[in-house]
Structure 1
């Protein structure tokens, strides 16, 4: 897989002599409570490794205290990691000096936080253009670009408003526009919609999906909400006590949970809306006709139900011209019954 971000063996330990923890096999083996009792240290991120592909929406999910927000801050060095590698477009940013790090933050990645952090005395257009101003762009250039992204996020007509004149959802759109204005390679979201009302939150999730389709940015999205993770993520990394529990697609988590912790998380998920035909197909039987219609393996079961049932014969699951298996109404009904 081509990688934009590659994280290897990442640790963030808070406390005295923190660097000794990842270097010690004995200390690494301790639970969070045991480590705190023995050393006075807390390992917020413990030996995390993952890759993010270009254009991917990679979601990190976990409950409060799981380490997810510390992890995303380590990726941009807002929090300094204790050990490991964070390779961004081939460069280990843990080796970057302050000048290089400022350059990366100004040009390569942007963050959207739960708390909007808007400048209250600046109009929307000036808030959106702030990153470009820091970069040194002229007024005409930054105003032009700010107006482009203001329209992109659906705020045209509000460019001369001040933050306190906007709703929470609109303020978060300003934060999103500000992050997009500098045209970063990667957008980092740290629980950006947690403080919003449910309906506004849903609208903002849909907005992120729309923007991703339009601009194709690589995104790393932090959330504690499984439904949000499943809705947004191409892949999801579940954290617990600073560690990776499981990393995979939503269908991977629902179809093959790694342990009871993940199983409890996904227990109430409507399986038919998450599982793909790849998970329910089976090998064709010798006496079955193979002249039925074709579907791809990544079609979600709920979307495949009508074509499969209408076919009246096995539907071939084909990828790149290769027959992977077949699906009939029996397989569809089995998933729908468990939904």
Structure 2
């Protein structure tokens, strides 16, 4: 399966002599702060990653980290100062303005943070807007818009006006508009951050359920690590214009690349993220495998592991799809992940204490 989207050494510099600034950054002759003092802003610095078909790739970072600028380069709304963006093997940075508009209208859709609905158009007309731009006949675009609205839980609201909808419902219309075009790639820029917490979680649930059905390729921008870990197949963490780590939620939680990433993860509820495959010990002694009376798979949630460990005197065995033992999870291993959160993530030598209490309660 070929890569759907590829970003290669992307830079975006605003201000004077951007090309010269890129070269200085490449040669380590200046950093971001030095350039800023000279009136030049390096918004994105040497960003490279790939996104596979059907993957939700989340880019997260604090305000000013460059994540939204990076997203805008992916569909040509912002031209890179240097580097390339390839979509299905096509170099978007080499396209003319007309060719880029064609790609954006048919292959790449964007879901904005603030809904961006037309108040003078009905819900159906808003959902069908991208198809109207494509020149799709009215009957077909209304049919496809209604199908997309139904997928987003808005069947029956087609004739309503945007101001008759709640914020969450308006965001569903924005999502339906992106889905109606049947674009191969969805770009979502802080799409749920303007919503109340309960509605935001509902929208996250909606996206997860839609993805199970549609298998879209999605790049999702957020500043919320819990949202990133809930939605992302992989996560790219940005700081000061640079991508400092790319990995699964479990990779980032257990093996943070540096102290900056670790500081993001310190308040995350690990029990909601970790699985048996992430915490198991792969070196299995024969007696451990023979004595295990509780078994799990690599996908077994952490909380279920705790319950199993509380019932068993021996380590929990982790099996592959054919029933072979691929690892074990000793109780002390679980204690290490639950207990001393201030130590380096992934170590398992914490003293008995709070972790044992959690296992006992399980």
* Fold equivalence (TM over 0.5): yes
Q: Which moved more, 1:304-313 or 1:146-155?
A: 304-313
Cross-structure match for 2:306: 305
- 1:338–1:231 distance in 2 versus 1, CA, 3 Å: farther
- Secondary structure of the residue aligned to 1:275 is coil
Per-residue CA shift, 1:111-133, capped at 9, x if unaligned?
00111111111100011011111
8 Å contact 1:10–1:46 — kept in the other structure? Answer: yes
Q: Structure 2 matches for 1:1-339, cutoff 5 A?
A: 2-24=2-24, 28-38=28-38, 40-282=39-281, 283-290=283-290, 292=292, 294-310=295-311, 312-319=313-320, 321=322, 323-338=325-340
Deviations 1:34-78 (A, max 9, x none): 11224x211100000011111111000000000000000010111
Give, in whole Å, the separation in 2 of the partners of 1:166 and 1:289.
Answer: 57
Give the Cα separation in 1 of the matches to 2:46 and 2:253: 24
When the two structures are aligned, how many residues end up with a matched partner? 338
Identify the range of structure 1 (127-136 vs 325-334) with the bigger mean alpha-carbon deviation: 325-334
- Report SS of the residue matched to 1:287: helix
CA distance in 2, matches of 1:29, 1:187: 37
- Against the structure 1 CA distance between its residues 211 and 289, is the aligned structure 2 distance closer, same or farther, given a 3 Å change threshold? closer
For 1:289 and 1:26, locate their aligned partners in 2 and report how far apart those are by CA, in whole Å. 51
Q: Equivalents in 1 of 2:234, 2:309: separation in Å?
A: 27
* Post-superposition offset of 1:338: 4.7
- Distance change in 2, residues 1:305/1:26 (3 Å): closer
Closer/same/farther in 2, CA of residues 227 and 238 from structure 1, 3 Å limit: same
Q: How far 1:28 moved relative to its partner?
A: 4.5
Q: Residues of 1 paired with 2:250 and 2:119: CA distance?
A: 43
What TM-score does the superposition give when structure 2 sets the normalisation length? Answer: 0.88
Give how far 1:156 is off. Answer: 1.1
Q: Structure 1 residues 311 and 325, CA, compared in 2 at 3 Å: closer, same or farther?
A: same
Q: Over aligned residue pairs, what C-alpha RMSD do you find?
A: 1.9
Question: Displacement of 1:181 after TM fit?
Answer: 0.2
Which is worse superposed, 207-216 or 281-290?
A: 281-290
Looking at structure 2, the residues matched to 312 and 245 of structure 1 have their Cα atoms a distance apart, in angstroms, of 41
Q: CA deviation at 1:309?
A: 4.1
Q: Where does the alignment leave 5 or more consecutive residues of structure 1 unmatched?
A: none
User: Bigger shift: 69-78 or 324-333?
Assistant: 324-333
- TM-score, normalised via structure 1 length: 0.94
How far residue 85 of structure 1 moved from its aligned partner, in angstroms, is: 1.1
Please tell me whether the aligned partners of residues 21 and 28 of structure 1 are also in contact (alpha carbons under 8 angstroms): no
Give the Å deviation of 1:96.
1.1
Helix, strand or coil for the counterpart of 2:290? coil
1:154 and 1:31 map into 2 onto residues whose CA distance is 48
Provide structure 2 residue ranges, at least 5 long, that are not aligned to the other structure: 342-362
Cα distance in 1 for residues equivalent to 2:245 and 2:144: 40
